[in-house]
Structure 1
Amino acid sequence: MNIPPGFFDLPEEFVHVLWLNIAEHLDWLEAGLATLDPVERDRAARYLNPWHGQRYACTRGLLRSLLGRFLGCPPAGIEFGYGPCGKPRLAAAEKLNFNLAHSGDWVALGFSRERRIGIDLESVAGCHDCLAVARQCFSPRELAVLEQASNTAQRFCSVWVRKEAVVKAAGLGLDSLQAFCALDPVVALRDERGIPIQWHLSEIPMAAGYAMALATEGGPVRNASFRL
Structure 2
Amino acid sequence: MTPRRNTATSEVRIPEPALEAVDRIRETGETHIWWWPLGTRTDPADYAVLDDVERGRAQRFHAEADAAAFTATRANARRAVARLLGIDPAHVAFGRRVCPGCGDREHGPPAVSHPPVPLAVSLSRTAGAGTLALRAGTWVGVDVEALRPVEPATLADVVLTATESAHVLGLPPGPARDAAFHRAWTRKEAVVKAVGLGLLGMPLNTLDVHPDQDGPVRVTHRYREEETHWQVTDLTLGDRWAASVARPDTGPHGPVHLHAPA
Q: TM-score of the superposition, structure 1-length normalised?
A: 0.82
Say whether 1:212 aligns with 2:222: no
Superposed CA offset, 1:3-48 (max 9, x none): xxxxx79633211111121339x89x64242232232112212222
SS at match of 2:117: coil
Say whether 1:162 aligns with 2:194: no
- CA 1:215–1:83: 2 relative to 1, 3 Å: same
For the pair shown, the structure with the greater C-alpha radius of gyration is 2
Provide the rounded CA distance (Å) in 2 between the counterparts of 1:115 and 1:88: 9
Note if contact 2:73-2:131 (Cα within 8 Å) is conserved in structure 1.
Answer: no
TM-fit CA distance, 1:69: 3.4
TM-fit CA distance, 1:188: 1.7
- CA 1:178–1:64: 2 relative to 1, 3 Å: same
Question: Structure 1, unaligned stretches of length 5 or more?
Answer: 1-7
Matching residue of 1:179: 206
Moved more, 85-94 or 156-165: 85-94
Matching residue of 1:119: 142
Matching residue of 1:197: 228
Provide the rounded CA distance (Å) in 1 between the counterparts of 2:209 and 2:255: 19
Provide the rounded CA distance (Å) in 2 between the counterparts of 1:179 and 1:91: 33
Q: Which amino acid aligns with 1:180?
A: L
RMSD: 2.8
Moved more, 82-91 or 208-217: 82-91
Matching residue of 2:164: 142
- CA 1:90–1:39: 2 relative to 1, 3 Å: same
Note if contact 2:144-2:243 (Cα within 8 Å) is conserved in structure 1.
Answer: yes
Provide the rounded CA distance (Å) in 2 between the counterparts of 1:194 and 1:32: 44
Provide the rounded CA distance (Å) in 2 between the counterparts of 1:186 and 1:105: 29
For residue 15 of structure 1, the aligned residue among 26, 31, 34 is 31
Moved more, 98-107 or 170-179: 170-179
Identity of aligned residues (%): 24
Q: Which amino acid aligns with 2:234?
A: E
Higher relative contact order (CA 8 A, sep 6+): 1
Say whether 1:62 aligns with 2:76: yes
Superposed CA offset, 1:43-102 (max 9, x none): 212222211111101211121222233345553442412554553223365211111211
Note if contact 1:115-1:217 (Cα within 8 Å) is conserved in structure 2.
Answer: no
Provide the rounded CA distance (Å) in 2 between the counterparts of 1:39 and 1:129: 39
Note if contact 2:33-2:131 (Cα within 8 Å) is conserved in structure 1.
Answer: yes
Say whether 1:227 aligns with 2:241: no
Note if contact 2:38-2:68 (Cα within 8 Å) is conserved in structure 1.
Answer: no
